[in-house]
Amino acid sequence: MKYTIDKESKRQFEVEGYVELEGVVSASQLDTLDEEITKVLQSREGKEPYLAGRDLWRESPFLQKFFCHNRFSDIAKELLLTPLLHLGADQLLTQDELFYQHHFPEPINLEQLTSIRDTEASFIIALDTHDELPEPWPKMAGNVLFISKKTELNLAELPGSASFLLFTYVTPNSLYVQQESDPNTHYLKTCGYVYGDRLTSKGQPIALR
């Protein structure tokens, strides 16, 4: 079923560059996400949680399909008015408070976070509930924050007990670039990319057409 976005939410996104959308992900979907995330992380045992949490979709057909589901792509289409987008990166944000404070002392945008130029927008799914979180982080489990490419995120303010799953949509011309602000900036080299490669050159899934 298509998610309905009201006029006030559209106005907030246009003005603020972000909007929290309630109840986008169901409780049963959250349970399945937790199972899939755990499965991928177990296969990457031994890495720092943040470093292990990049591009989980590459080892999970479920996550790839979930991120490209029309429930999300319809939201992006309505708010961005963009004809074609591909799935970009995903990043698990969870239980790593000191890591965030060390690596992200200042707010950063999506391109700085993921090393992908021409990142268009991102969804951030709240995996649990934390009423005390500052704006713009989604506070209720199942709620989703949709943010534009210019919106900055302050990861240093996240409590270690909060968990989010972030994934991005990128343009067909998106490039893999080195970003000193991204602790995972070398990750895509393990997938066969080099800096300057077009991300879609190796079959990045289409999320919106």
Give the model confidence (pLDDT) of 63-90 as tens digits.
Answer: 999 999 999 999 999 999 877 899 999 9
Find out whether the peptide bond into 136 is cis, omega within 30 degrees of 0. yes
Integer Cα distance of 119 and 148 in angstroms: 9
Question: Are 57 and 67 within 8 A, CB to CB?
Answer: yes
Give the DSSP per-residue string, 95-106: S-HHHHHHH-SS
pLDDT value for 188 = 94
Please compute the mean of the pLDDT values over residues 168-181 and round it to a whole number.
94
The CATH number covering residue 67 comes to 2.60.120.620
Show the tokens assigned to 88: 């970009």
Residue 170 three-state SS: strand
pLDDT value for 3 = 83
What is the domain count for the chain? 1
Q: Is residue 150 part of a domain?
A: yes
Q: Is residue 1 part of a domain?
A: no
Could you tell me the residue range of the domain that residue 30 belongs to?
A: 7-208
Is pLDDT at 158 greater than 90 in this prediction?
Answer: no
pLDDT value for 182 = 96
Show the tokens assigned to 161: 């007990």
Question: Are 159 and 116 within 8 A, CB to CB?
Answer: no
pLDDT value for 209 = 66
In a 10 Å sphere around its CB, with 0-12 CB exposed, 13-18 middle and 19+ buried, how is residue 68 labelled?
buried
Question: Are 76 and 169 within 8 A, CB to CB?
Answer: yes
Tens of pLDDT, residue by residue over 5-24, are 999 999 999 999 999 999 99
Q: Is residue 120 part of a domain?
A: yes
The better pLDDT of the pair 81, 104 is held by 104
Integer Cα distance of 85 and 162 in angstroms: 29
Is pLDDT at 112 greater than 90 in this prediction?
Answer: yes
Q: Is residue 195 part of a domain?
A: yes
Is pLDDT at 98 greater than 90 in this prediction?
Answer: no
Based on C-alpha coordinates, what's the Rg of the chain?
16
Is pLDDT at 96 greater than 90 in this prediction?
Answer: no
Please compute the mean of the pLDDT values over residues 95-121 and round it to a whole number.
91
Q: Is residue 90 part of a domain?
A: yes
Please compute the mean of the pLDDT values over residues 47-55 and round it to a whole number.
92
Q: Is residue 50 part of a domain?
A: yes
